[in-house]
Amino acid sequence: MRPAILIAGVGNIFLGDDGFGVEVATALLKHPPAEDVVVRDFGIRGFDLVYALLEPWEAVILVDALARGAHPGSLYAIEPRLEGMEEAELNPHGMDPVRVLTLAASLGTITARVFVVGCEPEDFGDELEGRMGLSATVEAAVPPACVMVEGLVGRLRAARGMGREQDPLQLQMTKEVK
């Protein structure tokens, strides 16, 4: 069976909470994924992720720090709209999921459904020196994020073969941390 779902952990481990996606990918890899799932730590390798997005996946789940103004450690699961994305340049040493998706869409067709599981960051460290490791708040969000990703994978499997109009995956999940 060819893998159908890509889970992509992204972020910079030298910038504190920006390493969230990498930590989630590492945690998920402690248990071998199902044969239809691939978990990859993309770190800051934006071009690698762009080309991976152009492969014929059924779904791609990007996991990253995602500032949306909630309490640090809050988790989100969203399905971004890919239609109408304009061309963007990509910093090969940084990862902005919107720019990665935009660049991939400008290079070809993204056939996969794309989801983002994000965590509200607390601290990226000093502006010039960064910081190794996640803040305690974001580190505590890693296990629930793994559960959220695994739940999304389960829902994708259940939805396999259904039309979008019957799709139980109309997403806008948020888990606030107080």
Position 60 scores a pLDDT of 93
As for how many domains the chain has, the answer is: 1
Q: What is the CATH number of the domain that holds 118?
A: 3.40.50.1450
Is pLDDT above 60 for 113? yes
Higher pLDDT, 116 or 175: 116
Higher pLDDT, 178 or 108: 108
Q: What is the pLDDT of residues 86-103, one digit of tens each?
A: 555 545 445 566 777 777
Q: Is the pTM of the predicted complex or chain greater than 0.75?
A: yes
Higher pLDDT, 55 or 139: 139
Q: What is the pLDDT of residues 34-89, one digit of tens each?
A: 888 999 998 888 788 888 888 899 999 999 998 888 999 999 998 877 665 555 55
For residue 141, what are the domain limits?
5-175
Give the whole-angstrom CA distance, residue 160 versus residue 105: 23
